[in-house]
Amino acid sequence: MKLIVGLGNPGEKYAATRHNVGFHWISRLAEELNVQFKSESKFHGLCTVATQANEQIWLLKPQTYMNASGMAVAAIARFYKITPEQMLVIHDELDLPPGAAKLKFSGGAGGHNGLKDIIAHLATQDFWRLRIGIGHPGNKHAVVDYVLHPPKQDEASLIDEAIQRSLTIWPLIISGDYTAAMHKLHTKPRAL
């Protein structure tokens, strides 16, 4: 894994919205790795680099707005010769309930405009995704308004738990043990 991308929209107005869970996740990872983001205009985003197991890993928060995320992802990938298979994109997922998180490789955009743009810019769907559940408003016409608003307090707690839980699989992801990472993330803890 060479590039970790957290999706979201820039600016204070969007900071707490459901659509920005990718930004929240990658900000927490940067804290854990003790690195700071800085603006990189050539990559259309906020970037930082961390060294893990003698490898450089780039962290990116595109600042292009969600619908143009692919421009930032493609720019940094081209510059550092990073293949799509070496990327992990963290994003909000309408088809998972708050509190759920799933790791998967490849697949369609599922109506997510950020993913759609990344797929278009990379000309492939073959990259890793970490999907953080935000739930669905129940009506497809309400989706835009729903993702651009903060979650209710109980949902926010569940989303936060999913972010925390998915961060615990980071060592497995970075070591390339995706099967173990998926097993750990997707297995529900047993009740005592």
Catalytic position from the list 19, 44, 91, 112: 19
Strands 55-62 and 3-6: parallel
80 annotated ligand-binding residue: no
Q: How far is CA 170 from the centre of its chain?
A: 13
Q: Kindly list the distances between the CA atom of residue 53 and the CA atoms of 67, 128, 172, in Å, as whole numbers in the listed order.
A: 33, 20, 12
Helix (H/G/I), strand (E/B), else coil: 83: coil
155, 98 contact by CB (below 8 A) = yes
Contact in structure between 147 and 115 (CB atoms under 8 Å): no
- Asked if 183 is an active-site residue, the reply is no
Query: Which residue has tokens 């990073």?
Result: 82
At residue 181, φ and ψ (nearest 5 deg) are -60, -45
Annotated binding residue at 34? no
Which residues define the annotated binding site? Answer: 14, 65, 67, 113
Which residues define the annotated binding site for tRNA? Answer: 14, 65, 67, 113
Residues with active-site annotation: 19
